[in-house]
Every structure is written in structure tokens, then in C-alpha cells.
Amino acid sequence: MKPGLRHFFDTMDGYLAAPGGLERLRAAHPGWDAKDSRVALYEEFVRHHVSATVEKLYPLTLACLGPERWAELVRAYDATRPARHFEVNRLGEGFPAFVADVAAARGLPEFVPALVRFEWADWAVYASEEQVPERVERLTVNPTLTVLQHPFRLAPYIHAKATGPAPAPGDEMLLLWRHPQHHRTWFLAAHEQALLVLKMALEGLSAQDVAAATGVAEDHVRRAVEECTRDGLVLAP
């Protein structure tokens, strides 16, 4: 970044950080005579982008907390000055760590930090720069696969769009990946069938190998592979 642009961002950071920032901003740019109203417009622009972006990325958390608690949380997050990246969605990247740090002090439901982590992973998988190959020579794990583990059963709550009962305690592993054809993030709570197919892809096992080792019918194993391939969790030749 050029020194002049760096100086601009550093001084605007000070302006947004605390009351009285306008005087510091003017002192840092001698001769700058922009009207206070024009400077305030920039401040409103930044704060609106933060709030609108976080609301877009974390709709389930908003639904869970309600408008009032959500607004308080976003104002506190905005005070950490996350608007530093040119890609607007990255304004929400630090939100999961922020929520984890303040959840207990703010009396948030215990499962909320895990819910926020899921919502960020949902977007990050969708926007992943990993290239999903159109053709593979062997059973292959979808390269966008992300794994989340937490002590709550989030999957039913997420499927209900945060309108059902609060997630029950219990260990859960969520698998998230971008579907090769639909190009959206898909997810599921890991189960034996999906984990078996992932193991086959990682270790190069055939349906015949698995059937011989486990006693499970080979047709059953093949159907599991076909289902996971259709869902895009794995890629098949």
C-alpha cells in the first residue's frame, strides 16, 4: 500500500475509533477544509457497510438474538474497526472470534459462538478459491470440504432457520462443502455412511475392499458412494 493511502487509513481509523476523532483527523491533514457533514457521511458509509455485511453473513444469529441484542452486538463489533479489507464480505471475518470472546459477558446463549462459526464457514466454503476438478481418476474428497466440531446439535436448528427449540447439548461434527454443480454450500451432520465414504476416498479403498473388511454388503457400500457423489461430498470417476 502506498504511504499516502496508508496514512489516510490510519488517520480514518483514529477518527472512527472514539469521540473527538474529527479534530485529530483535521490535525493529521493540514489544509483539509472538508465540511463536517461530508466527513460524517464517510463515517456513516463505513458503519453501514459493517452492519449490513454482518447482517447478511449471519442471518441465523440475528434471528436467534433478536433485533435489539443483535444491534448492540454489532455496535460493539464495529468498535473493533473490522473495515480494513477491500473485499466487503471480509468485514465479517473477525465476528466469530469476537462473539466467542464476549458471549459469556453479554449473556449470550452458549451455542451462539458455534452458530456464528457455522455461518462464517458457510460463506467461506461458498467463496473458497479451491478448484473442484471436473474429472477425477479415482474417488476424491471434494477439496472445499470443511469440518466443524462443537458440543451442540446445531443441524436441526440450522435447518429450522433458527426458529425451533435451542440446540440440545451433544457432540456434533458438521461437514460443509460447495456442490460441484449447484455451486452452493451444502452441509450435513456427519454420520457413519458419509465418514465411511470419505475414508474410502482418502485411503483409496474400493467397495470390494470395504465389504471384505467390514462384512457390509458391497451393494450397500456402492449405494453410499453414489449418494455421497450425488451430493457432491466426494467426486467419482
Joined grid coordinates for residue 207: 467397495
Domain carrying residue 208: 109-237
Q: What is the pLDDT of residue 116?
A: 98
User: In this predicted structure, which of 21-25, 139-143, 181-185, 215-219 has the lowest mean pLDDT?
Assistant: 21-25
Q: Has residue 194 got a pLDDT over 80?
A: yes
Q: What is the pLDDT of residue 82?
A: 81
| Domain-embedded: residue 50 | no
| Domain-embedded: residue 131 | yes
Q: Has residue 109 got a pLDDT over 90?
A: yes
Complete edge-to-edge strand list for the sheet that includes strand 169-178: 146-152, 169-178, 185-189
Strand, coil or helix: 45 = helix
| Domain-embedded: residue 20 | no
| Domain-embedded: residue 114 | yes
Q: Please state whether beta strands 140-141 and 169-178 pair in parallel, antiparallel, or not at all (unpaired).
A: unpaired
Q: Has residue 41 got a pLDDT over 70?
A: no
The strand ranges marked E within the chain are: 140-141, 146-152, 169-178, 185-189, 234-235
| Domain-embedded: residue 228 | yes
Q: What is the pLDDT of residue 19?
A: 57
Q: What is the pLDDT of residue 5?
A: 75
CA–CA distances in Å: residue 225 to residues 207, 213, 237: 8, 16, 12
pLDDT in tens, 48-77: 778 899 999 999 999 999 999 999 999 999
* 197: CATH: 3.90.930.50
Q: Are 112 and 65 in contact (CB under 8 A)?
A: yes
| Domain-embedded: residue 48 | no
φ, ψ (nearest 5 deg) of residue 182: -85, -20
Q: What is the pLDDT of residue 87?
A: 84
Question: Which residues make Cβ contacts (< 8 Å) with residue 33, sequence separation at least 6?
Answer: none
The residue count for the chain: 237
| Domain-embedded: residue 62 | no
What total of structural domains would you count in the chain? 1
Average pLDDT estimate for 75-98: 89
